[in-house]
Structure 1
Amino acid sequence: MGESFENPHIALAMGKVTTLEINRPEKRNAVNAAMWKSLLAACDRIARNPEMKVLLLKGRGHHFCSGADISEFSDAYGTDASAESYNRDYRAVETALRHLGVPVIGEIRGACFGGGLGLALSADFRFCDRSAMFAVTASKLGIAYSAEDTARVIEKIGPVRAKDMLFSARTIGAEEALTWNLVDRVFSKDDLEAGVRDYAGTLATRSRASLRAIKKIVNALVEPDMAVCDNLRPTYSELFRGPDIVEGARAFMEKREPNFE
């Protein structure tokens, strides 16, 4: 059954196959600061559910998640403290999903950009339909993808394609994403939900103890070196205090190309 949050933009339906849904379709499911906190609370509630064997992660409507809500960047990144708090919250959500003791399947339609791709890469599988679009637009905003998210992109598609995606900020369609191993399966629009449910149903028949152990082992063997990520954090964080993020965010809101120095 569905569970309510103080934040109406997060929906949770608990069961053996549990669904966590971003519910802000009017903003292409862009995630604001309050939503990151609610997603983390949802992950905590999910982790304490003894019946669950599979989690489905999705967005309501035509899009999975268009990323962080850029309209609030001036507040979120207004001070060093607020920037660190904001970045810490979204990293915590991704970590919670990645280390959840059950398989997580991302069900992806439409936009899967920036922070939305970070969420998708925190899942164990990414199943999409042919409307799916993937991009990391950080270079158009004057910022960079975090070391952790970049490591997960490299894990899936390799360093050269990762640089292509991150340098250019170009949009990658479903078929190219499949060729690159960024997604695992592509379905028609009408078949995606059934395909996800069918695979989730198969996993739900497996040993919960086995699923938990397999996920823990695989994740441990491919986890990025956190000491390296910590060392790189200043390289990432300093961009949120620079002049380019102001121009990048303004250009996004004004629907124009940024004019960087």
Structure 2
Amino acid sequence: MSDGILVESDDAIATVVLNKPDSHNAISLGMYRRLPEIFAALEADSAVKVVVVRGAGTRSFASGADISEFEQVRGNSASAKAYNEHVAAAEHAIEGFAKPTIAMVHGYCIGGGCGIALACDIRFADERSRFGITPAKLGLVYSLESTKRLVDVVGPSRAKWILYSGQHVYAEDALRLGLIDELLPADDLEKHTYEFAKLVTTRAQFSVRSAKRIVDLVLAGQTDDDEVTIDIRNSSFDTEDYAEGVRSFLEKRPPRFTWS
């Protein structure tokens, strides 16, 4: 695909590649514009069960937004408003994607790159990775929604430390803070990420996607079951995957789930 993004598929796993390695995969406005279209197409593709988001190569996930185009695309408040709307739409498309998403982070994951990684469900990173959210270095203000994603994973005081300072968070500290979920040697990261993605594709997809939806409701502040969540849970008993799960358990064999 154009605009610095590639989409690759291998069975039930799709990979979205931020593909500007010469600039550490800096994210252009065109790339932000493409992401909602890409994720809409992947959601409509019943063959896709998990999406991995990564940067091209092993030096960077993404070094941030492409600052070289800021004078043109964020030169004043009007153009900045339009730009920010495209960024928000891209992050919403990833966060609101019905299927599981995994950010595979090699190296730098800074600014807008960190925003995209935080919009994913899970983040795996290598030991050389470093993270940073840097509006305080540029005179910018991070959006409330993007800030909430950061607060949800590291807590309010550490989010303030990251945002006030603009300092990089190195891999081991990122793991300790919960900014990433697993830390791997650089040579093992890709293999581990795709092994986990493959594992998720073997699980009951109604269960997986319902779990994602319910966790998102919890993050949005819901604390009690309502008609929607009760219906989601009860509906699972009418799926073929539930029947297959019970059969496979009784027959002492791996399940063969078919819902997609």
| Kept in 1: contact 2:175–2:183 (CA 8 A) | yes
Q: Does 1:158 align with 2:155?
A: yes
Specify the alignment match of 1:252 in structure 2.
Answer: none
Alignment RMSD, CA only?
1.3
Spell out structure 1 runs of 4+ moving beyond 6 A.
none
Q: List alignment gaps of at least 5 residues for structure 1.
A: 226-261
Specify the alignment match of 2:23 in structure 1.
Answer: 27
Q: Does 1:84 align with 2:89?
A: no
Q: Does 1:146 align with 2:143?
A: yes
Q: Does 1:10 align with 2:5?
A: yes
Tell me the number of residue pairs that the alignment of Structure 1 and Structure 2 aligns.
220
Q: List alignment gaps of at least 5 residues for structure 2.
A: 223-260
2-side partners of 1:159 and 1:208: how far apart?
33
Q: Does 1:186 align with 2:183?
A: yes
Shift of residue 224, structure 1, vs aligned partner: 7.3
2-side partners of 1:134 and 1:80: how far apart?
27
Structure number with greater CO (CA < 8 Å, separation at least 6) is 1
The one-letter amino acid of 1:49's match is D
Specify the alignment match of 1:256 in structure 2.
Answer: none
The one-letter amino acid of 2:203's match is R
| Kept in 1: contact 2:17–2:54 (CA 8 A) | yes
1-side partners of 2:142 and 2:199: how far apart?
34
The one-letter amino acid of 1:165's match is I
Measured against aligned partners, the alpha-carbon deviations of 1:38-63 in whole angstroms (never above 9, x if no partner) come to: 22221121111111111000000110
Specify the alignment match of 1:43 in structure 2.
Answer: 39
Measured against aligned partners, the alpha-carbon deviations of 1:105-128 in whole angstroms (never above 9, x if no partner) come to: 000011101111110001110000
The one-letter amino acid of 2:216's match is N
Q: TM-score, normalised by structure 2?
A: 0.82
Bigger Cα Rg: 2
The one-letter amino acid of 1:46's match is L
Q: Does 1:118 align with 2:86?
A: no
Q: TM-score, normalised by structure 1?
A: 0.81
1:55 is matched with which residue: 51, 70, 76? 51
1:218 is matched with which residue: 215, 219, 223? 215
